Amino acid sequence: MENIEKIQKIGSWVSYRPDIKVVDCTIRDGGLTNNFNFSEDFLKAVYKCCLDSGVDYMEVGYKASKKIFSTSDFGPMKFSTEEDIRKIVGENDTNLKLSVMADSERTDYHNDILPKDQSVLDLIRVATYIHQIPTALDIVKDAKDKGYETSINLMSISTVPTDELDEALNLLGNSEADVIYLVDSFGSLYSEQTRSLASKYLSIANQGNKKIGIHAHNNQQLAYSNTIEALILGVSFLDATISGFGRGAGNCPMELLLGFLKNPKYHQRPVVKCIQENLIPLKESGVNWGYDMAYMLTGQLNIHPKAAIAFIESEKNKNYIDFFDKIDNGY
Amino acid sequence: MENIEKIQKIGSWVSYRPDIKVVDCTIRDGGLTNNFNFSEDFLKAVYKCCLDSGVDYMEVGYKASKKIFSTSDFGPMKFSTEEDIRKIVGENDTNLKLSVMADSERTDYHNDILPKDQSVLDLIRVATYIHQIPTALDIVKDAKDKGYETSINLMSISTVPTDELDEALNLLGNSEADVIYLVDSFGSLYSEQTRSLASKYLSIANQGNKKIGIHAHNNQQLAYSNTIEALILGVSFLDATISGFGRGAGNCPMELLLGFLKNPKYHQRPVVKCIQENLIPLKESGVNWGYDMAYMLTGQLNIHPKAAIAFIESEKNKNYIDFFDKIDNGY
């Protein structure tokens, strides 16, 4: 059997695309590994790295509701109050834009997201499962009315039937969101699937005045590869984290992405420096992330990494065969 | 600027391609990390893993000349004498085929490669730089005359000008080799380049009765991704190693590849078992391989990983900034 896939490439090999925006999610996704228990020095070092490396956005954390989550269980960036953000960034009188993520149904957005003129934040990213889309759209409308840029990040799409995904994207395409994100929550997507989905999302974007972003996970060592594939097709908001720091297998590594992008405003050296001085010590202190055979298996099975996270966190002498046998039978 | 890349895909998503051959290079490429100082138990465990997992070929080592390399500096699989191979595989009365690699100008092929009927080997793979092709072709002819399958693995093509590569491929296309390998020696190729090169190699293959193989390195976390991209286009000989074991950043991980391939003859569990019982202990014993920021930098700069290998082997407190500054200025 033979078939031809046509890749309509945007941009050329030697030049660069000024529409590309790099979004650093180091604190927000990395905070899932340690309940946001970061020192102020660490947070400031990541902020400085974002400034020096020329990335476009830094996501400082979540806007989680204090009615749902306790401040005694999580560090400040789980909640990202204006006061706590300003401890790190001051007035952020820079070209770097700041974002937070609001999880649909886990955020008290009416109260906790302030009008834009009272905030150092620029972008509200709304994470949603498909059944929460009406809530997500209301958060977007609220944020838009308050003066923010907005994105909708539709999660776990690798388990959503195609017709439901199409209906969801149609809703998002007609929403007020500025950016719609292709999210590979389980790190299960292959390049062919990523290209096919990116094309679908881009056709939605082209109907309105929207951008498409990608947020990849590295369960199968494909986070960087899939990010590049998506950007070649025209996806323009690229999520990455320093040293791939993030839950489970982690994310698209910023150092790889900035080594690929040719816009002279991006600089790789500050990322190398931040890894040397902050991420390597963090890993040595016992915080776990990055590619591991257990995450590979959950990615290949297209399931949530929580079983792999529990396996890696709980056992000192890891028995991968046992994990393989259990996960293969619906752990 | 816009342009369309057409990918002519061979095979479908749910079925499998019986022409695919998986080549395990664990011992041969991994031996470059420890001068082939493997225990007999380790060698036998890898052999058993290859048998149980259903891969098609196992590369047992190099056929290096004892006139050039000393047996006191290297373990047996640097030389892969018939006697030493049989210590591991006996008569190899199995479906698994065995290969060795002969480096052009570093092998005493007339004497050391025996007639096929005196050997347990099936495939002679000839590694060559572009300036050694006449020697490589003579080794292929010699091996072919002795009754073996043969391949030519043209190395370091990422630094070869396009017109010279085209001329080289024309020579290889008219040679007696059964397989021509696309080799990403420095782990520097991106997916677009891999697809473009794979298409070029496949057009050579289609002119004769040849197959194309791929041997990728993981400097940019693209070894697996590029291997899949090449196979989608029709490349059929796929090199991989257990746990990605191999020089520097290592190779395409076998566990990822077998998780992707759908031919029911392949089994992932024996690879998980071999990693658990042999590769993890090897790594814990101090043998170094796998993705590291230093290898990422040599890959992105399209240079040999030797500076990164020296950096990683020599220093306990690694200063990546220093490495970055040196390598960026022609270390």
Supply the ipTM of this predicted assembly.
0.95
List strand residue ranges (DSSP E) for chain A, in order.
Answer: 2-10, 21-24, 57-62, 97-103, 123-128, 149-154, 179-183, 211-215, 237-240
pLDDT in tens, chain A (331 residues): 457 888 888 877 778 999 999 999 999 999 999 999 999 999 999 999 999 999 999 999 999 999 999 999 999 999 999 999 999 999 999 999 999 999 999 999 999 999 999 999 999 999 999 999 999 999 999 999 999 999 999 999 999 999 999 999 999 999 999 999 999 999 999 999 999 999 999 999 988 889 999 999 999 999 999 999 999 999 999 999 999 999 999 999 999 999 999 999 999 999 999 999 999 999 999 999 999 999 999 999 999 999 999 999 886 668 999 999 999 766 5
Distance of CA B284 to the CA centre of its chain: 24
Tokens of A149: 């840029």
Do residues A45 and A281 lie in contact, with contact meaning Cβ atoms separated by under 8 Å? no
Instruction: Check if B321 contacts A (Cβ < 8 Å).
Output: yes
Task: Return the exposure string of B233-259: e unless at least 16 CB atoms fall within 10 Å of the residue's CB, then b.
Answer: bbbbbbbbbbbbbbbbbbbbbbbbbbb
Give the pLDDT of residue B314. 82
CB atoms A228 and B321 under 8 Å: no
Could you give the percent of chain B with pLDDT greater than 70? Answer: 98
- Cα–Cα dist A17/B262, whole Å: 38
Task: Tell which of A261, A320, A325 to mutate to test the B interface (max B CBs under 10 Å).
Answer: A320
Q: CA B13, CA B8: separation in Å to the nearest integer?
A: 14
What is the distance between the alpha carbons of residues A218 and A197, in angstroms, rounded to a whole number? 18
CA proximity to B276, closest of A308, A313, A317, A218? A317
Q: Which residues of B21-42 are buried (b: 16+ CB within 10 A; e: fewer)?
A: bbbbbbbbbbbbbbebebeeeb
In this complex, the residue of B7, B229, B276 whose CB is nearest that of residue A4 is B7
User: CA B31 to CA B242: how far, in whole Å?
Assistant: 13
Measured distance CA(B5)–CA(B7) in Å, rounded: 6
Q: d(Cα A205, Cα A178) in Å, to the nearest integer?
A: 9
Nearest to B150 by CA among B168, B172, B125: B125
Contacts of B134 (CB under 8 A, 6+ apart): none
Contact predicate B204/B173, CB 8 Å:
yes
Name the token pair of A68. Answer: 């749902």
Question: Residue A10 is encoded by which pair of tokens?
Answer: 């945007």
Burial B282-321 (b: 16+ CB within 10 A, else e): beeeeeebbbbbbbbbbbbbebebebbbebbeeeeebebe
Residue B39 has pLDDT above 70, yes or no: yes
Spatial contact of A180 and A172, defined as CB atoms under 8 Å apart: yes
Instruction: Spell out a b/e string for B75-95, using b for 16 or more CB atoms within 10 Å of the CB, else e.
Output: bbbbbbbeebbeebbeebeee
Q: Looking at residues B3-30, what average pLDDT do you find?
A: 89
| CB-based contact B13 A192, cutoff 8 Å | yes
Angle at B240 between CA B239 and CA B245, to 5 degrees: 135
251-270 in chain B: CB under 8 A from chain A? 253, 255-256, 259-260, 268-269
- Exposed/middle/buried for residue B262 (C-beta within 10 Å: 0-12, 13-18, 19+): middle
Token pair 């908001």 in the structure block, residue: A237
Diameter of chain A by CA atoms? Answer: 60
Chain B nearest-CA distance from A150, in A, is 28
Cα angle value A18/A20/A22 (rounded, 5°): 130
Which of B190, B218, B225 is facing A222, going by the closest CB pair? B225
Contact check, Cβ <8 Å, A225/B192 = no
